[in-house]
Structure 1
Amino acid sequence: MEAQDSPRAANYAPRPASHFLSSVVTKFYQHILALVFAVDEINDNPQILPNLTFGFHIYDSYSNSRMTYRTTLDLLFKSHHFVPNYKCGIQKNVIGVIGGLTSDTSSRMADILSLYKIPQISYGSFEPEVKNKVKFPSFYRMVPNEALQYQGIVQLLQHFRWKWVGLITVDDEGGEHFLQAIETMLSQNGICLAFSERIPKNMHLYTNIHEIISGRRTILPAFMMSEASAVVIHGETATITWLGGTIGAIRIIQLIVPQFKKYTAAKVWITTAQIDFTSHIFLKIIDTDIQDFHGAISFSIHSKELQNFQDFLESVNPSWDNADGFISDFWEQAFSCLLSNSTVPTDIHDTCTKEEVLESLPSPYFEMSMTGHSFSVYNAVYSLGHALHFMYSTRSNCRRMEVMGTLSSSMVKPWQLHSFLQRVSFNNSAGDKITFNEHGELVAGFDITNLVTFSNKSYIKIKVGKLDPQASPGKELTINEERIKWHRGLTQVPPLSVCNDHCYPGYGKKKKEGKKFCCYDCAPCPDGMFSNEKEMETCVSCAEDYYPNTGRDQCIPKIPNFLSFEETLGIISTFSALLFSLITALVLGILIKHWHTPIVKANNRSLTCILLISLLFCFLCSLLFTGAPNKVSCLLRQTAFGIIFSVSLSTVLAKIITVVLAFMATKPGSKMSKWVGTRMSHYIILSSSVIQVGICALWLTTTPPFPDLDTHTMTEEIILQCNEGSTTMFYCVLGYMGFLAIVNFTVAFIARKLPDSFNEAKFITFSMLVFCSVWLSFIPTYLATRGKYMVAVEIFSILASSAGLLGCIFSPKCYIILVRPELNNREQLIRRRI
């Protein structure tokens, strides 16, 4: 790019070096036109460079290192014959260089331009080396950071859950850097490489195809042999040209070799931003078709349509020949015709009418819409223009009092432009903000495009997403799946790209020995675990109050397990408790009604009432065990049961001891008469009961029972229970009752031979035998059951032991009172005693 003093005089003269090859990539001609369009706009805009005019020279490197160095030196020092470091002939005031398209060309240019600190803005380079600001301090890139693109590739693969992917790249330094970076990122994100194919950098397309057709290559390329549906292609446009030619050659081979017919190129091709879909003139010879890449997903340099750009393209025609050294080659190869001044024999091609229009060309040869690289060229020209404008504005303000008139372009030194380029920030005509970061890279993202092809070998690119570096981490990539058109040969969309079939819900992954981590078997989830999504790494446990269903693909809420009043077992236990309570109340009523009869008087009436009342509460306390546990019921269940039962056993003990003492007091000379009486019996009840009360009080103050949920014991049910707080205290309560029962049984067994008329010892002995049998069987049964059945066992033990006391002790009395009242008199009792 040049800055000239002639006001607004457009001076652009593309001047290519002498022809090195006869063919050009016609599609890249738009890059030249974008530069011309941008220069024209700047020169027509008095607000940017009002007293200067942009000019330019265009050189073709022919993708050759030697020609790149030659043309770069020629640009700086002389038009046709050059002597390095000497400016001979026409003076060129070069303020910046835009190029090149490939990373190799950019780095070769930077080798020379960096020596003279001339700003170089690459519009397509992704080479890691040339972004080193220490080695190339004058290098700028009109493209985003390449690391962002790597991150976008990984997020794209994750979005579609493609875990088994292939890589194709060029076998050079850039390709090696890409492989090292992407392989690490893929591995960290659980993605495996199905294959990694390196294309020799200097392999000519002709050689590759010839090897396949001639049969010297008997093995198909890895991308054809692999079952991976997703293939990432890294490189430059030549890479996709090689790939298209290879697929076309393989298609010919498949017609000859039957075993190759099963392989298909129906893949999801994922291309990087440096790649453009073009057709080479040689590809017309073989059966290659852009439709092989239908459905490809591409990371593209962000672009927008520019106002008047299409009108500008429509105005292009071969009449530019005097000023444009490229248009003749472009026109002849694009339209397969010869211009009148061509040196090629006219019988080979038709003669060009010059009425041909660019719009009629298929997309692989020329696009009418603005491409990403052309948009970068456009922005690069404007970046130099705004930097130059900023520099002139600054100087004019500083020297307004010293210099009269305008500044000359000869005063501009290229190295002076760097400080202004680094700070340049403007909005282009499409509304995008253009600025560079500290590494000289464009602060922008990428477009995600989808290639849609047509039968006429043309295509369009549909924007289906974007890669935004300003988004929150992990969400830089956004994709609109509904807009994506997939390859027509795929059997499923979105396609699968995995080492094996997905693990469906209910299964987890199991590693295959000797295989990559993406290859695995699917194993059913173990007991208590589930997976509700495809491709879950491991099965997970349900929440504590849930359990997996039969298919183990979802969790079902556990059924609450407690002894309810509504269920059969609860109804039976409640009915039994109320029935026995009613019977106890009736027995008490009968005894009170016959309060003054000999049989009631003979067995200590006050103790009998205490015993019956305590038995009544024993039956009623079993109701605390029915229903959903709550804080109050948990506190009262075991403590109330323990205290009331202790009172009952203490009363029985007082009765039997009173009887024994009464018989001992009747013996001549006995001193036991002072111990006989109600005071002694009440003291026994109080002293025996207060110990149990103390145990329960200690229990409630230290580790009281509380409502709890047992989510682990039963698979499909959650047990609503009372946690005893302290198992030791619980068994202390039971142990003390057992101790009282053993004492009662021992004393009653000793007193069993006393006269029947005044003695309850035999009945008490039998009742204690029933009591001990019930509670001895209770312990192992209680420990062997869970949930509501454990509660039912305790209720049964309470009811059975209480009913044993009630039946064994009071049924004989009630029998005499109700059935044999004639025996309920003093004479009968005395007679029986004698």
Structure 2
Amino acid sequence: MCRLVPDNYQNFLAFVFAIEEINRNPHLLPNITLGYEFHQIHYSHWRLLESFFRLHTGQDEVPNYTCRRESKSVAVLTGTSWENAGKTATLLELYNFPQFSFGSFDPTFSDRGQFPSLYQVAPKETSLATGMVSLMLHFSWTWVGLVITEGQKGTQFLSDVRAEMNRNGVCVAFLKMISNYLTSPVLALQKLDFLTRETPPANVVILYYDIESLNDINYQVGQYVVTWRVWVTNSQWHADSSGRNFILDSFHGTLIFSHHREEIPDFKTFIHTANPLKYPEDTFLTLYWFQNFHCSVSDSDCTLKNCLLNASLAWLPMNHFDIIMSDASYNIYNAVYAVAHALHEMLLQQVGTKPIRNGEMTVFSSWQLHPFLKKMQFHNPTGDLVNLDKKSNAEAKYDILNVWNFPEGLRRKVKVGEFSPHARHGQLSLSENMVEWATGIIETPPSVCSESCDPGFRKSLQEGRAACCFDCTPCSEKEVTNDTDMEQCMKCPDHQYANSQKTHCLQKLTIFLNYEDPLGMILLGAALGLTVLTVVILGLFVRHADTPIVRANNRGLSYTLLISLAFCFLCSLLFIGRPSTATCILQQTTFALVFTVAVSTVLTKTITVVLAFKVTALGTRMRQLLLSGAPNSIIPFCTLIQLTICSIWMGTNTPYIDTDAHSEHGHIIIVCNKGSLTAFYCVLGYLGSLALVSFTVAFLARNLPDTFNEAKFLTFSMLVFCSVWVTFLPVYHSTKGKVMVAMEVFSILASSAGLLGCIFAPKCFIILLRPERNSFHGFRDK
């Protein structure tokens, strides 16, 4: 029972072909010939029921009264519409009459309680949405429109495909539900707004077509030239069969998910031989022949004449008649075989029993087939498994067909791939080189809301838009993305850094203030040069040890100061080179102690100068104290205090090797961590206190009369020393890495050079350039 139109006439031919093939098979129903009746249905509930009563009783006047005696139908095949199958199922259940639906699988019919006598031949379509979304992902289509015909299956498919799209990051650009024009009179007034370009454009549209909607959406779309879109649809879709050839076709390049099946070779032969002479009772075939093969009608008996010689349906172009078996036709083919196998098994079971006979005919009721149909599983002639068990019906495997519109707009369907929900190694396989896209498109068309974010950028969602609509934001300095369309940038580990493109992390180079660096070489040269200069001055003072200028300025303290300054210059070398635990400790302790000796020596010299000029006023006891060298005890006393501070520092929080991975881009700097900044500042504070006392005493003695009074020079040297270290503190806190170490070395060299220059430069000038002033005669003359 189906509605006979050109689009589904192939269903009727498949039905006839299956029956004839079974009747020729000596191993299936031997000595039994299958017959059939064909009833054309109308879109009316009462007409549909009337067709069934005529089928079941043989007359349409008295319900439930059977006037048939010779033959009787044992099963009925209903059309693809859920409306048809659903309406007849309720009535057929009253008679336990087997009913086969050859439409697409409907979960509603799997309810044994509601439809115990209805069987579905088609496999489950629960993986259709998964297959279509897999195709979207294969081509990186993330901005997809949905056009779905209304109905129970359409609603279920919408739920499935939306869930699958959400799981895989594919967004719905628009959703259009197309109404059934029989239940919605305003269909003709619907605005097909999905046929216009939107912003951003969705170049790919999933079109779910359901026969039960009775809505020829293909015809409506075909009236427009929509060549910029790729349509992805299900096997229910069919091209416009009005016979028109469209070179510029909206459906050129369409991708169709069709149930996988093996080809039935004899079916093409059957199509070649089917004609009105072979089936004179088929009025539709006669009419179809008349329309397509330029026949004329005989006036005498209304038969066809003057048709094309050896005309065949196989001659017609695909947009008139497609000889490739459709899903519905294949389901009809399997349904007929299912009935035949059930009859065969039932008859085998009756062997050995006495059959109830009416003349020469075997008499049985249609309900007796149910025990055999409920668990029916068999292989059809092509080898495909057919399963009628409602619980174990397997999911469909799909062939992906591509509509080629050339030559001459014939809409040829070519297999370009497969989708299998059970495949182990990849569910989707596709031959992209075989895909013909829409007219004017030579490569895979994109369908995205936003262009992909390249490596080095991350997706930043646009407020109020779908997840597929985003902006591309560059990763920050220490972050990378190594793939397209990443939502978050990955932070590089501390020992790595991001390259300039922010695409991957690179290993940082380990560096330190090295002797080979330009800055290290300069500081090394300065330290060694100043050390040599200090040694030269020391040698000069030793050579002229008995001259007035050397003796007047306490040569013992001068020697001590020069030696301590030489060690001050040399201790700066501990800060250059690869740090180790020993050098980190020696850096701070050596710096603290030698500078304490130097500054305390300056303090001793200053006090000695003051006491020398005040000795007369201070009396005999103070003179004896001065002559005994008691002021010199200031040096070990001050050094002992500094040594105590350093001991506490080293005992509580010893300096250690540390790494600085943030100061310089792409580098890890090895530095000495002071352990305790408080202890370090205590050392500097103590040195600063000694320098401040020395500066104060020297400043007070700056105007004392004497030819070789060095109080002024001591004052200026302490001023330079304090200025250097006061400047050091803020600069030290504002720098990091090698620059911080270099700043500390520079402060050591600058402050030591300040002491050396301010105190000893004037004396060296007199010794070397004014020797006449460095004699007893010159001293007396002065």
Match 1:647 to one of 578, 582, 593: 593
Provide closer, same or farther for how the CA distance between residues 641 and 342 of structure 1 changes in structure 2, counting only shifts above 3 A.
Answer: farther
Tell me how far 1:141 sits from its aligned partner. Answer: 3.5
**1:495 and 2:478 matched:** no
1:539-688 mapped onto 2 (5 Å cutoff): 540=489, 543=492, 545-546=496-497, 568-584=518-534, 586-587=536-537, 599=550, 602-604=555-557, 607-608=560-561, 611-624=564-577, 632-633=579-580, 635=581, 639-656=585-602, 659=605, 668-670=620-622, 676=630, 681-682=635-636, 684-688=638-642
Q: Distance in 2 between matches of 1:828 and 1:74?
A: 156
Provide closer, same or farther for how the CA distance between residues 232 and 831 of structure 1 changes in structure 2, counting only shifts above 3 A.
Answer: same
Q: Which residue of 1 aligns with 2:731?
A: 781
Q: Which residue of 1 aligns with 2:182?
A: 202
Match 2:251 to one of 293, 299, 305: 293
Look up the SS of the partner of 1:470 in the other structure.
coil
User: Is 160-169 or 811-820 further displaced after alignment?
Assistant: 811-820
Check whether the contact 1:103–1:126 (CA below 8 A) recurs between aligned residues. no
Q: Which residue of 1 aligns with 2:279?
A: 321
Q: Distance in 2 between matches of 1:819 and 1:26?
A: 127
Provide closer, same or farther for how the CA distance between residues 322 and 771 of structure 1 changes in structure 2, counting only shifts above 3 A.
Answer: same
Q: Distance in 2 between matches of 1:655 and 1:470?
A: 92
**Aligned residue identity for 2:129:** Y
Tell me how far 1:591 sits from its aligned partner. Answer: 6.3
Q: Distance in 2 between matches of 1:37 and 1:767?
A: 122
Q: Please, what TM-score do these two structures have when normalized by structure 2?
A: 0.78
Check whether the contact 2:568–2:748 (CA below 8 A) recurs between aligned residues. no
1:476-495 mapped onto 2 (5 Å cutoff): 476-490=427-441, 493-495=443-445
Tell me how far 1:557 sits from its aligned partner. Answer: 5.9
**1:746 and 2:693 matched:** yes
Look up the SS of the partner of 1:292 in the other structure.
coil
**Aligned residue identity for 2:556:** N
Match 1:306 to one of 260, 264, 268: 264
Q: Distance in 2 between matches of 1:548 and 1:428?
A: 63
Match 1:129 to one of 108, 120, 133: 108
Check whether the contact 2:293–2:308 (CA below 8 A) recurs between aligned residues. no
Look up the SS of the partner of 1:146 in the other structure.
coil
Provide closer, same or farther for how the CA distance between residues 204 and 750 of structure 1 changes in structure 2, counting only shifts above 3 A.
Answer: closer
Q: Which residue of 2 aligns with 1:449?
A: 401
Q: Distance in 2 between matches of 1:435 and 1:135?
A: 20
Q: Please, what TM-score do these two structures have when normalized by structure 1?
A: 0.73
Tell me how far 1:746 sits from its aligned partner. Answer: 0.5
Check whether the contact 1:169–1:197 (CA below 8 A) recurs between aligned residues. yes
Q: Distance in 2 between matches of 1:267 and 1:159?
A: 17
Look up the SS of the partner of 1:700 in the other structure.
coil
Match 2:238 to one of 273, 276, 288: 276
Q: Deviations over 1:235-260 (max 9, x none)?
A: 2359898345435656xxxxxxxxxx
Tell me how far 1:732 sits from its aligned partner. Answer: 3.3
**1:720 and 2:668 matched:** yes
Check whether the contact 1:548–1:555 (CA below 8 A) recurs between aligned residues. yes
Q: Deviations over 1:1-38 (max 9, x none)?
A: xxxxxxxxxxxxxxx79xx8786743434532563476
Provide closer, same or farther for how the CA distance between residues 25 and 303 of structure 1 changes in structure 2, counting only shifts above 3 A.
Answer: same
Q: Deviations over 1:775-819 (max 9, x none)?
A: 211222233345554444333223222322343445456556666
Provide closer, same or farther for how the CA distance between residues 818 and 414 of structure 1 changes in structure 2, counting only shifts above 3 A.
Answer: farther
Q: Which residue of 2 aligns with 1:366?
A: 321
Q: Distance in 2 between matches of 1:265 and 1:323?
A: 43
Which 5+ residue runs of structure 2 have no aligned equivalent?
Answer: 357-361
**1:766 and 2:728 matched:** no
Q: Deviations over 1:157-207 (max 9, x none)?
A: 3443445444333344444444455456556635233351514332899x9
Check whether the contact 2:772–2:778 (CA below 8 A) recurs between aligned residues. no
What percent of counterpart residues are identical? 26
Q: Distance in 2 between matches of 1:563 and 1:37?
A: 96
What's the C-alpha RMSD, in Å, of the aligned pairs?
5.2
Check whether the contact 2:170–2:468 (CA below 8 A) recurs between aligned residues. no
Provide closer, same or farther for how the CA distance between residues 290 and 62 of structure 1 changes in structure 2, counting only shifts above 3 A.
Answer: farther
Look up the SS of the partner of 2:645 in the other structure.
helix
**Aligned residue identity for 1:232:** I
Count how many residue pairs are aligned between Structure 1 and Structure 2. Answer: 755
Q: Distance in 2 between matches of 1:742 and 1:37?
A: 119
Provide closer, same or farther for how the CA distance between residues 40 and 808 of structure 1 changes in structure 2, counting only shifts above 3 A.
Answer: farther
Provide closer, same or farther for how the CA distance between residues 657 and 786 of structure 1 changes in structure 2, counting only shifts above 3 A.
Answer: closer
Provide closer, same or farther for how the CA distance between residues 308 and 25 of structure 1 changes in structure 2, counting only shifts above 3 A.
Answer: closer
Q: Which residue of 1 aligns with 2:195?
A: 223
Look up the SS of the partner of 1:321 in the other structure.
coil
Tell me how far 1:450 sits from its aligned partner. Answer: 0.7
